[in-house]
Amino acid sequence: MIFNIDLIKNTGAERLLFNIVSMHPHSFGGIISIVDTGSPRTIISASAASKLKISATGEKASPIYGFGRGNIPCRKLNNFKFIIKSSEGKTKSIEMPVYVVDIPALNNLSQEMKISAYRIDSIIGLDFLISQKMKMVVDFNNNLSYFEEIYNKNILT
């Protein structure tokens, strides 16, 4: 299946956006995420965690360095559930580990850190591509970008 990625073409600020829908218990709703192949992890932002009331009851993780101003408290949710929609309108259910900004811990930080953390978007990282056996195609010149499932597992090795 093919899953379209939205291209945002602002000169000097190009972005790849991908929408996921949280199916995590008591946390249903859309999360627009930036596709970041430089990030090893998928991260649910403070604003998405707060809006969808995604509980930070998962395993305590080290603060995320290089994410915003760094030292943003987070927790690892080992089985985050979400769906993605293919270009044909079919859905794919996914369950994978993600990191979520720990809102209660964030609230103990300075106002400046909280403001900074809430400005950062959710991120689809390399762990998504690897765990879901996907490849990514990006062609800015032809306005084309998508994830595609890889059916030949030998491609990843």
| Helix, strand, coil share (%) of the chain residues, nearest 5 | 20, 45, 35
Structure tokens at 125: 């990282």
Domain residue ranges of the chain, discontinuous segments joined by +: 2-156
Residues 76 and 97 sit within 8 Å (Cβ to Cβ): yes
Cα–Cα distances (Å) from 88 to 81, 84, 135, 140, 145, in that order, read 21, 12, 18, 22, 15
pTM: 0.86
Q: Tell me the per-residue pLDDT of 22-54, one tens digit each, with 9 for 90 and over.
A: 998 888 899 999 999 889 999 999 999 999 988
CATH class in words for 2-156: mainly beta
Q: Tell me the per-residue pLDDT of 98-137, one tens digit each, with 9 for 90 and over.
A: 999 888 888 898 898 888 889 889 999 999 999 999 999 9
Percentage of the chain beyond pLDDT 70 is 87
Cα–Cα distances (Å) from 121 to 31, 93, 149, in that order, read 9, 22, 25
Residues 31 and 19 sit within 8 Å (Cβ to Cβ): yes
Rounded to the nearest integer, the mean pLDDT of the chain is 87
Q: Please, which pLDDT band fits residue 85 given cuts at 50, 70 and 90?
A: very high
- What's the confidence (pLDDT) of residue 157? 45
